[in-house]
Structure 1
Amino acid sequence: MYPPPPYTNDDSVKERLAKITKATNSVFIHIRRGDYCKLSWCLEMDYYQKAVRYIQERVENPTFFVFGATDNDFIHKLDLGVNFENLGESHITADNQHHDMFLMSACKYGIIANSTYSWWGAYLGRQKDIVIAPSSWIPVEGSYQIIPKEWIKIESTKNPHIIPPMQPKDNPHKKPPYSPKRFFKNLRYLARYDIKEMYHNQRNYQFSPQIAENFAAMLRDEIKNDWDIITPPKIKNEFETLQELIDTQKSFIRFGDGEYMIMNGEDIGFQKYNENLARNLQEIIVSNDENLLIGIGNLWFSVPDKNFRAGSYKYTWALGEYANITRYLTKGKIYGSTNVSQVYAAYKEYDFERHFKMLRQIFENKKVVLVCGDRVLKNIQYNLFESYEIEMIFGPTRDAYNALDELKTECLKKSKDCILIFALGPAGKALAYEMFKKGYRVLDLGHAIKDYDAYKRNIPMTNEEMVKFFAPD
């Protein structure tokens, strides 16, 4: 017989454990909030309400105990369709973080969140007669596989922002055979990098263990290491992306660092974090609509060469967020290049003339409606849309998401024969997607207006000019 865990001697734990023990059919409900709210991973209430009904239909006189939600206002407004008692810690600390897990493990039934904390609460301790889990987990490839077969899975119909689980056939874990030929090919591939130059580029950046792990993942992606199940994303280059937009009627929405920061719960220079906006962006980036081309950074997945103006950028944001970038990708999907809107800002040597000619060809002989910030054109000397039939819809340069409804109303007044072009930051992408679903062709071209102007003016893209280029207008 092992001695009881020391935390059962805590008076608060003893009192709560007594309530669980007294109940004939105790059911824990774990609601994960906190960091999940920022990441837009919180489950909607319909999941919990369905789970509660499932228990009620099969268990006589169940007693429900809620854990995990430390926000009193949230608890007060919580509608589960049943009476419940909140037994969770009011404030989670390093000293008490195991208490709730212990108490959940003592219940007879469990309704878990998409969280390994309550997963362990259900798995450990008392054998549970029924455990209910969400069928969609968090947007990490393969995470759905942790749910035991005997647990009941319930879907939340209000969770478009949670990436649907990949099917087993799309996520093979069998590693392909590795050959000496591939090994030496990879060595030769890596030999083209100047390690001293790479160190020089990141010398002022703190190289943490996480950064080192991300860097290793990037290299594995780039050389397609056969020992690893990671597959690098398929991304068209800038010219291939433009050609597809010329040859088809596809719409185009780009994702850059700002969009990932919003999805990660952070503010950016011209848009404060908004939970609904984060959900909108997460829904867009995982869209599999064949008429929508999603753009991501084709420079994020390889070590930068000397032609890339902002090589050190790869050792700051892109490398630090590598795991966050890759978790939203769909295996086998072909993406466009986000960089079509900022080639002059990105490259030292490039066929800029050909690029901008192709870009303008997309909307040649078309009616164009430009939806942009009210200061985007303020200092522009060379207008990308000069000589084209164009109408303007102006939104606020900062926090444009607050004006989304008004902007949508204005866009809906326009004929579907026109092309809606957006240069309105993350909010513009959310609006573009709404209009795309209404049947409009939308092109999210972002910095292309400033990029074309900088090229025509032959502005030297020094560090100072780069900061100005990407700063809010």
Structure 2
Amino acid sequence: MIEKIRFKGSFYKANARYVAVKSYLRYKNLTPNVLSVESTVKKIIVSKSSVARFGDGEIRLMRGEDIEFQNASKELSLRLQEVLRSNEKGIIICIPDVFSNLNQYKDKAKYIWIKHLAKYYGYWAKSLNSDTIYYNAFITRPYIIYKSITLANERFNSIKSVWHEKNIIIIEGSKSRLGLGNDLFDNTKSIKRILCPTVNAFSKYNDILEEAKKIRKDNVILIALGPTATVLAYDLHQEGYQAIDIGHIDIEYEWYKMKANWTINVPDKHTNEALDNKAPEHVSDVTYNLQIIATVL
């Protein structure tokens, strides 16, 4: 999650603490090993892996802190810890590629991650295994955070290969509307959708899981439900599905098409990282509405 950025507080103080903590963890050989975006996408395609992703929001929830669109709970904290520390075959654990170097990111993104890591770097280190190879959570963020956008098109095309000629089920917030108005999923065989709460989706977790378990296992499941997606991908993998926490890929694609310099509102879609975050309750797109097979609200 990219927080809504307003430059307040002492960046220099945060940066000094970030540098000190990073140096200490590097000295202790506790810096996590995160593979590249390209290696991560290749792993998903070749191995048909499921994907559980962690970012700043998941860590805060694990510590019992609310985030903008999900209230904390003991159950959610414990489930996220379980997934992060798991070592299940066929599912990859993805974390942000921010622990060794931030130079590839825009200044705004660097500022956000320095603030976060200054406070939570120790908790990340305690929660991760230094002997584990982690995959890259930024597979769903190929564009907005990077200084250079030269690889964006290639990375979008690469991630599209994950669902090429596949029947997909999108489990998403009711206002997320992945693929509406763009060609992100035009290479699929078919699209069906299960709509869920835009805010506090984990409060309906059991109902969402039971609805998802009605899906045929020859479908690829793409989940865009914030931290709920992390847990849901793990549980559906246990049930024999390929389930991918796809995060903000659609909004990133919209920003890429718009040539946006930073997070802005996308018409007709919930854009929680934009300052002007508004989306209509309903849309009149016939194809989209016909794709909805269930609603859990």
TM range (shorter): 0.7 to 0.9
Runs of 5+ consecutive residues of structure 1 not aligned to the other structure:
1-200
Q: TM-score, normalised by structure 1?
A: 0.52
Are the equivalent residues in 1 in contact too, given 2:18–2:117 (CA < 8 A)?
Answer: no
Are the equivalent residues in 1 in contact too, given 2:52–2:229 (CA < 8 A)?
Answer: no
Task: Tell me the equivalent position of 1:217.
Answer: 21
Task: Tell me the equivalent position of 2:196.
Answer: 395
Q: 1:267 to 1:373 in 2, by over 3 A?
A: same
Deviations 1:105-160 (A, max 9, x none): xxxxxxxxxxxxxxxxxxxxxxxxxxxxxxxxxxxxxxxxxxxxxxxxxxxxxxxx
SS at match of 1:401: helix
Selected match of 1:354 from 125, 129, 154: 154
Rounded to whole Å, the distance in 2 between the matches of 1:341 and 1:421 is: 12
The code of the aligned residue for 1:339 comes to F
Rounded to whole Å, the distance in 1 between the matches of 2:99 and 2:265 is: 22
User: How far off is 1:292 after superposition?
Assistant: 1.3
Residue-pair matches, total: 264
User: How far off is 1:231 after superposition?
Assistant: 3.2
The equivalences for 1:277-292 within 5 A come to 277-292=76-91
Deviations 1:177-197 (A, max 9, x none): xxxxxxxxxxxxxxxxxxxxx
The equivalences for 1:314-353 within 5 A come to 314-350=113-149, 351-353=151-153
Are the equivalent residues in 2 in contact too, given 1:300–1:314 (CA < 8 A)?
Answer: no
Residue 373 of structure 1 pairs with residue 173 of structure 2: yes
Deviations 1:59-78 (A, max 9, x none): xxxxxxxxxxxxxxxxxxxx
Higher CA-based Rg = 1
Task: Tell me the equivalent position of 2:3.
Answer: none
User: How far off is 1:435 after superposition?
Assistant: 0.9
- Root-mean-square deviation (Å): 2.5
Task: Tell me the equivalent position of 1:416.
Answer: 217
Are the equivalent residues in 1 in contact too, given 2:164–2:187 (CA < 8 A)?
Answer: no
Rounded to whole Å, the distance in 2 between the matches of 1:379 and 1:331 is: 37
Q: 1:455 to 1:380 in 2, by over 3 A?
A: farther
Q: 1:213 to 1:347 in 2, by over 3 A?
A: closer
The code of the aligned residue for 1:205 comes to F
Rounded to whole Å, the distance in 2 between the matches of 1:294 and 1:355 is: 19
Rounded to whole Å, the distance in 1 between the matches of 2:127 and 2:229 is: 20
Are the equivalent residues in 1 in contact too, given 2:141–2:249 (CA < 8 A)?
Answer: yes
Selected match of 1:246 from 32, 37, 45: 45
Structure with larger RCO (C-alpha < 8 A, sep 6+):
2
Rounded to whole Å, the distance in 1 between the matches of 2:183 and 2:66 is: 30
The equivalences for 1:74-85 within 5 A come to none
Residue 384 of structure 1 pairs with residue 184 of structure 2: yes
Q: TM-score, normalised by structure 2?
A: 0.81
The equivalences for 1:41-80 within 5 A come to none
The equivalences for 1:43-442 within 5 A come to 204-205=10-11, 207=13, 212-221=16-25, 224=26, 228-305=27-104, 307=106, 309-350=108-149, 351-377=151-177, 380-388=180-188, 389-442=190-243
The code of the aligned residue for 2:20 comes to A
Identical residues among aligned pairs (%): 25
